[in-house]
Structure 1
Amino acid sequence: MSLISRAPTTAIPPDNVPLPRGYDGTSPFPPDGPAPERGGGERLYVTVTALIVVLPFVALGLAGWLLWGSLIHPADILLAAVFYTVTGLGITVGFHRGLTHGSYRAVRPVRIALAVAGSLSFQGDVIGWVATHRRHHAFTDRPGDPHSPYRYGTQLRGLLHAHVGWLFRNDRTSAERYAPDLLADRDIRAVARAFPALCVLTLALPFGLGWAIGGTWVYGVTALLWAGLVRIALLHHVTWSVNSLCHMIGERPFRTRRHDRATNLWPLALLSFGESRHNLHHADPTSARHGVDRGQVDPSVAVIRLLERPGWVYDVHWPTPARVAARRAWRQPLIHARQLTGAS
């Protein structure tokens, strides 16, 4: 899944490089063009990436423990939860299941509203996001995938790459190739052009609401911190975890294409609004429901059902028992954390 769009560079996009024959699923991907300058060597790059991944979670827990009652207020938590839910569902229901995979069709106001909500997540303009994700499905876990954790073979380095490192590569996905339908949609083009303004709005709204609720600018600043910056950081890392962890750790009850190692990772199900039921999604990408087994949490599907009742979304691709059974892989092995390092 894409984060912030980057301008084209002179590097050759991987989607223009023919796939090597006989890829074995474990070897590192071949080079796809000149790498961007990192200015401090590979070791420093990996260290900085690890800090970016780990420190936000550590800082969040420490700050919440130290600052409760002084620089964090109940209104901040409420606003953060509301903004996280709205922007997260904008990504999962709008960007992903709707615009990327066509799991349903939506009336124009709902289509635009979901595209705006997803854009408020700070994960890039809607057309770039969709193009990158479609490319991920076209080349899942093989050369051409923009954020496969197997880019460097079965190594921990690949996990860091899939989580956040891929964002720093000169690696542009062609919207003309992967999202021509959205380029032809004037409403979606307008939302994509408005992305910078929506980034400002997603920070300004918490600040303004916090000030209005608390009555002072201090409340506005703390709301900006928790319902703005921390909320964005948390949603980013949850989204990145679907790219990384949900291709390396978890269960694989459904068959996917060759080399596609998407998994179900239940601890992330609630925070990701059902997106971590990733194995079924890769087995049946157009399915509106990802958590199809008993007890599997999938909040996004509840929203789609709610929108379907008044006819705001329609032509929903609901999974049938026969379709699910046809994709079931009864002997698919469990992927363990020890495989991150290539252990047998």
Structure 2
Amino acid sequence: MSLHTNPNDPVSPSNSAVLKDRPATKQRRAEKPASEGPKVIDGRPPANSPETWKLGLDWPVVVWIGVVHLFAIAAPFFFTWQALATCVVLILATGSLGVCMGYHRLLTHGSFKTYKPIRWLLALLGGLSGEGSAIMWVSNHRKHHKYSDHDGDPHSPRDGAWWSHMLWFMPNWGQKISDDIAKRYAGDLLKDPMMRFLHKMFLPSHFILGVGLFLMGYFGAFGLTGGWWDGMSMLLWGTGVRMVYVMHVTWFVNSVTHMWGYRNYDTTDDSTNLWWVGLLAFGEGWHNNHHAYQRVASQGHKWWEIDVTYWVIWMMEKTGLAWDVIRLKDVKHTKPA
């Protein structure tokens, strides 16, 4: 059963409008009886099942994640303050602006509108997070909202904590299934030639950035002395450490904010608000608020639920770079408990 059944929902094959806002008032799903087997949804075998793992691993993805983590492990041996500062700047650019504001609130849910060049820039920054192209990220996230903590959810902790955190994207689903999911859940993005171009440029863009960072260090940018050691410092901190941080705080939203925390709203899934994920993930950790009102730009619904990504949207609105920002007052809602 989907969380929303509105025919204008983006998860409908015939429409790519944004998700409808409506707090679900039904109780969360009870544990499935052992006699009731999980279902095949969108051509994918049941999550984290023997049938899934019989498909084998998606080795390009596994190698990609492995290399990124090896870079992060090696980075402390090539420490410079300039590389650390570069890492922090790129974390904010690719994590908060790219993933949280661009991929999530703008492209998936339509929480605000902006100019096409800014939309494309945010999609590019989101791709540099290392979490896949906008087309793939948005299609999986919209599917998550349709089936949240039910059969069909790509990454529910009910199928295993580690599955929801980082194993769910490692099976080899096959190109046809991936393409079909993209067409069904992200048809609006597929119509945009620039989004298709950024999809094709996902890996090349990382190589371009990596080479650029290495050359900045090698030729002594930002006061570095130059040489291969400084080049490796910029490369390892600007790619490995930065991507590992952004990846895992994003994955925490998929895993722990469906396991631990408190709830302001009674939704049909297990979503929760978890303060430390809220802080580490640029405001994304107030996940129960988000599942109750998916289009609302601000995910912090109480005064102390800090949402730095929304602050940037607010500043963009004040400077004319964003408009039609969706707020709680714009939708019918119940007051947080």
Same fold (TM over 0.5): yes
Kept after mapping to 1: 8 A contact 2:75/2:236: no
Say whether residues 1:293 and 2:329 are aligned partners. Answer: no
CA distance in structure 2 between the partners assigned to 1:85 and 1:93 by the alignment: 11
TM-score with structure 2 setting the length: 0.76
Aligned match of 1:169: 171
**1:167 Cα deviation from its structure 2 partner:** 1.4
Higher relative contact order, structure no. (Cα contacts within 8 Å, ≥ 6 residues apart): 2
Using the alignment, how far apart are the partners of 1:143 and 1:327 within structure 2?
30
Map 1:111-126 → 2, pairs under 5 A? 111-126=119-134
CA gap of 1:269–1:194, structure 2 versus 1, over 3 A, is: same
2:129 aligned counterpart, secondary structure: coil
Task: Report Cα offsets for 1:120-179 as digits up to 9, x if no partner.
Answer: 11110110110000000000000000100112xxxxxx1111001111224445111111
Cα separation, partners in 2 of 1:149 and 1:302, compared to 1, 3 Å? same
Q: 2:199 matched to which residue of 1?
A: 192
Amino acid in structure 2 at the alignment position of 1:198: S
Aligned letter for 1:94? G
Secondary structure, in 3 states, of the residue corresponding to 2:255?
A: helix
CA deviations on 1:25-60 (whole Å, 9 max, x unpaired) are 3137615333233889xxxxxxxx9xx99xx69x86
Note the C-alpha offset of 1:309.
1.8
1:296 is paired with a residue of what secondary structure?
coil
State the Cα distance separating 1:251 from its structure 2 match. Answer: 0.8
Q: What does residue 137 of structure 1 align with?
A: 145
CA distance in 2, matches of 1:210, 1:254: 49
**What is the CA RMSD across the aligned residues, in angstroms?**
2.8
Alignment CA distance shift 1:321-1:309 (3 Å) = closer
1:319 aligns to 2:328 (yes or no): yes
CA contact (8 A) 2:56 2:171 kept: no
- 1:201-220 matched pairs, under 5 angstroms: 201-211=208-218, 212-213=220-221, 214=224, 215-220=226-231
CA contact (8 A) 2:274 2:285 kept: yes
State the 1:187 CA deviation: 2.2
Report the residue type matching 2:301 in the other structure: V
Amino acid at match of 1:229: G
Aligned to 2:101: 93
Give ranges in structure 1 of 5+ residues lacking alignment.
1-14, 17-22, 41-48, 152-157, 331-344
Equivalence for 1:26: 31
Residue 262, structure 1, aligned to residue 267, structure 2: no
* Aligned position for 1:35: 52
Superposition pairs for residues 7-86 of structure 1, below 5 Å? Answer: 25-27=30-32, 30=38, 32=40, 33=45, 34-37=51-54, 64=76, 67=77, 71-86=78-93
Unaligned runs of 5+ in 2: 1-11, 14-27, 46-50
Letter in 2 for 1:161: W
Q: Could you report, residue by residue, the CA deviation over 1:60-88 in whole angstroms, capped at 9, with x for unpaired residues?
A: 6x974xx4xxx301111101001111000
Kindly state the Cα deviation for residue 206 of structure 1 after the two structures are TM-superposed: 2.5
